[in-house]
Amino acid sequence: MAAGGKNRRFLIWLAIGTALLALATAALLTFLLNQRQLIAESRSLQTDSITALTHQAEREFMRYRQTLDAAVNSRKPPDDEALTLRHDIFLSRV
């Protein structure tokens, strides 16, 4: 009889632990879905905003200018691929 009582207690604790893990997983899934929705909304707002587009163009211009300045003032020959990449990215933002 003692073995049956221990087995029953083990099964009860196992059921409680499983239920707690299921609740924690459900809470994390809810949080993940909420965050995914907020990120999607944020992205749609950024692409609609003229300020965000202007900021991206300005940031890419500054990166291009810094790469060009480093190429001009460097003692080693300029990296044509890096300059072309920065120029193409800048033009894509304009």
> Which residue is associated with the tokens 């049956």?
4
Contact in structure between 88 and 64 (CB atoms under 8 Å): no
> pLDDT tens for residues 22-63?
999 999 999 999 999 999 888 776 666 778 788 888 999 999
Q: How far is CA 65 from CA 32, 44, 75, 78, in A?
A: 39, 29, 18, 14
What pLDDT, on the 0 to 100 scale, is given for residue 48? 66
What pLDDT, on the 0 to 100 scale, is given for residue 76? 83
